[in-house]
Every structure is written in C-alpha cells, then in structure tokens.
Chains A and B, each alone.
Chain A
C-alpha cells in the first residue's frame, strides 16, 4: 500500500500549469475557427473547398485516412505487445490507448465533413447497403471506438479506486467521479480475475477489428478502378502504414508527456530505446510495401501506371513524394538504427517527422490518382486540372487535428497516464525477486 502512496504523488492527475492552460485554449480556439469554417461550408456548399469533379476527394479524405491509421496504435502497442508479453510496454500503453481513442473518434467526425449532404447522415442506416465499402466503414468504426474505449477503461478500474481515496479530501467532487467510474473496485480476487479476463478478451478482439478497420480503409480505394488505387497490395500496405503513423504519434506524445510531467523515473531511455527499435521495424515493413506499390508497376510500365508514378517520382508531386519517402521513412530508419538516435530528444524529432510524413503520404495516395483519370480532363475550368486545399479546407482540417489533441489533453488531465496499480505491482514483484535472489 505504501508503494501506491508514493506513486500516487507522482502519477495522480495534476492541474495544468500556465503552459497547459495556454495550450488548451489555443486548441479550443483553433477548433472553434474550424467549426465556423465548417458552418460556412454547410451553408454555401462545398464550393468553398478547392475540390472539383476530377479532384473529387481532397484533404478531408486524406486526413480521415490519417486518423484511421493513427488509431491503429492501440492495436499495435497494447494488444500485440501484451500478447507477446513485452513487459516494457507498461508505462506507455495508456498513452497509446488515449491516442487511439482520440484518433478514431476524430476519424468518425472527419469523414462526415466530406459529405455533401451531412443532413442525410441517417440515410446510411435507413437505406444502407452492405455491398458498399462505405457501409463497411460505418459498421467497423463504431465497433473500433467501443473496443478502444473498453481497452482504455478496464485497466483504469483499480487506478480510479486509488484516485478516489487520494482525492477524498483534496477534491471531493473529483473523488466522487472517480468513485463512480471505479465501479466499486475493491481489488478482491474475484474482481481481479474478471478484470484480467476482460482485458485479455478485449486485447485479443482488438487485433482482428483493428486489422479489419485498416483493411476496409484500404478497400475504399482498391475497390475502384483508378490507377494507383486498383492494387492488391493495398490492405497490407495500409496496415503497415498505420503502424508507422501510430507508433510515430506515440513516440511524439510520450516524449512531450515525459517532459511536461517530469516522468523520467517511469519513462526512461530504456523505453525510448525499445520504442525506437519498434518504429524501425514498422518503417522497414512499410518501405517494403512501398517498393511493391511503386517499383513493380514501373517495371511492367503500363501506360497509365507509368504516367501516374512519374508524376510522383519526377513530376508535380515529386518534392512531396521524396519528402515522405526519405524524410518520413528512410531517415528515421537510419537515425534509429544508432543507439544515440534512440535517445529521447532525437526520437521526438524523428517521431514528428514520421507523423508529418504519414499525413502527407495519405495526401499522395488520394490526390494524384484523381488527377489522372482514364479519359483526359477536358471541357472543365483550367483550375480543375490541379488540386490544392483551400483556406476553408485547411482551417477545418487544422480544427480536426486540434480536436484530436484536445481529446488527448482532456484525457491526460483526468486520467493517470501511467498505470499506477500495475506499476506498483510490478515494483513489488521486482523487490520480491531481489529478496529471493539474496
């Protein structure tokens, strides 16, 4: 019990300082500006975007794909590391779960922004047809939201009980909330067994659901004829890309939280080292699929395929393409292969680079393909031959990103970001082992 007391002092949620408050308000303001821009879009129609009958999808869709990809971090770190018994995951799993929840909720919201008639959202349920990949998305995203929330919630139960006691005098109101959320957790053997079983079940369940989510997202594109999407590679390509985006986001957030909350005792260089190796593996797998996606069509050189790929390699999108491949994948792999590269600060920079690369990667998947249809683009305004997001699109997209960060911030404010009970248990176990060794 003493163990948890000292841990609680370190790890219980704290009030934000000045920087925290400024950060939160900045996010709120960006979100509000985006909401205003969105209302304007609803009133005027999507004419406020730079989308057109050829570039019929834009950054709303690529941003959506980015959110879906990032939400995969829950599956990768929590479930896979758990099932493979990697005990180094303890201090970072909750952060991963939080990112996952924020990303998938925002994915659900982002896709609605792209709809021409958001007022007819219910048609998806009234007239929904299972043969459409969009309906698959409508089914899988809520399921993933629920499972992600449960995966976040179940392990929190003992911590809520601890926090209830901890805040009993300092903040009775908060304590009451924690008490309610803890579902009368007493830590009895029966409760522990149920909890362990439930977590195990959800951890197993989230793997197929996570894979399905990513694959369906890939199939949104690969079920269409367009060059650059019509590829059997897509499912695996998206899953590996999602691992990169997710772990990249995780590294970045873990670093920030470690610095802000001074968690150096709990999240150590050792953890960054492990995360770095994990990220290298994910980047290498993704590079492999990229090779499949771009090199093989280039070798067989069908006319449409080479047009499409040359636009990426040497044409209009080349700067972005090479930034994504070199900056977002090759440089991270090289840096992270060195021990010095896996120290917290370089990892943070690499993490940012990976996230940025991942975001633009989705843009490169969506846009260039649409600008090269089968029949030539003729008889439409000159501006329809290109696409770059309008101010409205940027404001709204920035708002969705800000909202995701806002969800993360809110959860970080009220949840213990490092599992208290489990850390205590692990420390006790460690001491016990030491004593027996003596």
Chain B
C-alpha cells in the first residue's frame, strides 16, 4: 500500500515537471511569435526619424527600424569613485632634511581645501626625539595607510580605501561617531564641530558636484557639519595629472609625489626612482610597528642644509589655520 502510494506520487511529480517544462517552452515561443507579429505591424508606418551618427552626420531612418539598444556593460572600465584610478598606487615621500617650516604647504592646503575650522589637514610638527638629539620639522598628511585603522572601525563604510591607495571619506554617509578619529594613531582627522562657514565656496562647489557627480573625491569641499574630514591626497588634481597642492607650494622641494607601480616620485623639479631613493636615503614610515603600512615615506633629517631655528619664526603652537576676518 505504502509502496504504491510512493510510486504514484513520483509519477505525479514526474508528469508535473514535464507539463511545466512544456508550458515554459511554449510560453517563450508564443512571446517570440507575438514580438515578430508586432514588428511586422510596425513596419507599415512610414514615419522617418532623424538621427545623428557617432561621427556627427545626420541620417534618416524609418522609425520601425529604430530599436533601443541595451547599454553596453563596461561598468568595470568606468571610473568608480570608491575604486579609484585603475593600475595606480599613489605614494608620497617627505624629505625631512629639507623642511624648514616655511608652512607654504599648509597655507596652500588650507586655501585649496577651503579649511575654515581650527585644525589644518596638513601640519608641520616641531619634533625632538630626546634631549640629546637634534630637533627637526616634520610635515604630516594623512598617511593613506594600506591597512588603515580608520577604515576597519568605520561602522557605515563612510571612510574607505581605494585600489589606487587613497583613503577617502564619504561625507554624505558619515554618521559622526568619530570612531575613525580615535582609531587613527597619527591624529590626522578633523571634525566639523559646527556648520563650516565656507561662504560662496560652498555654493560653487555644490554646482561643481552636480556636474561632475562625484562628491566623495572632493572631501571637505564643501565640508559638512557633524562629519569627519582629512587630507585626501588631492584626487581632483591627480586625476588631471596635476601634483597635490602641498607638493607644488613647497619652496624647498620637501614633498615628492608619485606612483609606486611606476616607481617614480617627483617634487615638481626633480623626478626620482622611488625604490632607489628609499634605499639611498634610508626612507622609513611613521609608527611602522603598528602595522598600518602608510603610503607616506619619510627621509630622515640628515645632512641638513637649513637651520632648524629659522623655522621657529613661523612656528605657532596654537594655530594651524590662518583666519581671514
């Protein structure tokens, strides 16, 4: 009894499956025929359409011939703000031997990123490791780490790492928890504690955003209240093959910028082989022991041509952003 029950069920399932198959196939067939029929009826219309070809000449086509083409799917080749520029890996080298705290880098950065708060993205630290060692000036930017602590802890993927090495912030997504600021060992991130007063700039930038439609690349332009900002390696410039503002502004050629894959860095005046430079001049990275793997390399402050004390004139303990009243 049980056996026959089972076999009948199997039979039923089998038949059902076949029936289903036939229905789908015939369904597809019917729809194809219907499509052909409808095309034929459309053929009768004698209206012409004017179209422009790829090279710009106007042609006339019977409207029945016009079929909508599916968009070609070259998403992977399209520029994606979160993926970055393909096959690039941007790095910076900062030569501490040349820095004399001229602060042109900082004022250029403040100007071009419309920084209106109290805290510059680029800072020049007065450093002295111990009493017996020489003091030196140390410019810092965002380290654009390859293993960024800030990205790891961000709860909403607002700060992200791109393939071209840049760590950027999506100010439209950031919830302002400041966990990334606590995570960053280089204290490089700044917060918009109040409505940033960027004036006309805000309007200009918003218009630019609408046309270019990639606000993330313009981190800090405009800044948004309650979100985090930081040095962005100037993607708006490097996309146009222009060096970041700090690099071009420095009168002493301290900053070198380049591509690790191309193995070259330049400060605008001289272009050097990155690997050779790092070996010859004993390059290092800040807090290597933390495992953050920064993209910014430092050359130690040796054989200095400049006097440390010259920089003291420019040094302000409590200010990094010049306020224009």
A interface residues (Cβ-Cβ under 8 A, vs B):
44-47, 49, 51-54, 56-57, 114-117, 120-121, 123-124, 126-129, 131-135, 138, 220, 223-226, 370, 373-382, 384
Contact = CB atoms under 8 A, between A and B. Distances in A.
A123 B175 contact: yes
Given A53-B187, A132-B156, 14 more contacts: A53-B189, A53-B191, A56-B182, A57-B182, A115-B177, A116-B228, A127-B157, A127-B173, A129-B156, A131-B152, A374-B186, A376-B126, A378-B126, A379-B320
Interface stretch (B192-200, B257-265, B295-303): B192-200
A375 B140 contact: yes
Given A115-B175, A121-B175, A123-B156, A224 B183 contact: yes
A129 B225 CA distance: 23
Nearest to A133: B153
A374 B185 contact: yes
Of A54, A133, A134, A379, most B-chain CB atoms within 10 Å: A379
Given A116-B176, A128-B155, A223-B153, A378 B125 contact: yes
A45 B118 contact: no
Nearest to B170: A127
Contacts, number: 149
Contacts of A117: 174-176, 226-227
Minimum-distance CB pairs A-B, first 3: A116-B176, A116-B226, A379-B320
B226 A45 contact: yes
Of A114, A131, A138, A370, most B-chain CB atoms within 10 Å: A131
Interface string B154-188: 11111000000000000001111111011101110
A397 B189 CA distance: 26
Interface stretch (B31-39, B50-58, B236-244, B311-319): B311-319
B226 A379 contact: no
Nearest to A43: B195
Contacts of B225: 45, 116
A134 B318 contact: no
B1 to A, nearest CB: 39
A134 B155 contact: yes
B287 to A, nearest CB: 6
Given A129-B154, A224-B153, A56 B178 contact: yes
B149 interface: yes
22 contacts: A44-B194, A46-B191, A46-B194, A46-B226, A53-B118, A53-B181, A115-B177, A116-B174, A116-B228, A120-B173, A120-B176, A121-B175, A124-B175, A128-B155, A132-B156, A133-B179, A223-B153, A225-B183, A226-B185, A374-B287, A378-B125, A378-B320
Contact of B154 (A46, A132, A378): A132
Nearest to B183: A224
Given A379-B123, A380-B119, A381-B318, A116 B175 contact: yes
Contacts of A370: 182
B94 to A, nearest CB: 14
B165 to A, nearest CB: 20
B190 interface: yes
Contacts of A226: 182, 185
Tell me whether chain A's interface is mostly helix, strand or loop, or mixed: loop
B93 interface: no
A418 B139 CA distance: 65
Nearest to A42: B226
Interface size class of B (residues with CB under 8 A): 35 or more
Tell me whether chain B's interface is mostly helix, strand or loop, or mixed: loop
B174 A225 contact: no
B177 A374 contact: no
B120 interface: yes
B290 interface: yes
Contact of B153 (A57, A127, A134): A134
A348 B324 CA distance: 58
B152 A116 contact: no
Interface in B240-269: none
Contacts of A46: 176, 191, 193-194, 226
Contacts of A223: 153, 183
B153 A380 contact: no
A435 B190 CA distance: 75
Contact of A375 (B186, B194, B228): B186
Contact of A376 (B125, B157, B319, B320): B125
A138 B156 CA distance: 12
B179 A134 contact: yes
A56 B118 CA distance: 14
Contacts of B118: 52-53, 380-381, 384
B6 to A, nearest CB: 39
Contacts of B124: 379
Contacts of B177: 114-116, 134
A87 to B, nearest CB: 44
B226 A138 contact: no
A343 B87 CA distance: 74
Contacts of A114: 177-178
B318 A132 contact: no
A379 B157 contact: no
Contacts of B227: 116-117
B191 A116 contact: yes
B175 to A, nearest CB: 5
A124 B155 contact: yes
B152 A132 contact: yes
A116 B193 CA distance: 8
Contact of B155 (A54, A138, A225): A138
A51 B174 CA distance: 18
Contacts of A380: 118-119, 318-320
Nearest to A384: B118
Contacts of B120: 379
A57 B192 contact: no
Interface string B88-126: 000000000000000000000000000000111001111
Contact of A379 (B178, B192, B194, B319): B319
A46 B316 CA distance: 26
A49 to B, nearest CB: 8
Given A117-B227, A379-B316, A379-B319, A124 B156 contact: yes
A224 B191 CA distance: 18
A53 to B, nearest CB: 5
B256 to A, nearest CB: 21
Given A47-B194, A56-B178, A132 B153 contact: yes
Contacts of B149: 224-225
A124 B187 CA distance: 24
A382 B318 contact: yes
Of A56, A114, A121, most B-chain CB atoms within 10 Å: A56
Contacts of B127: 376
Contacts of A384: 118
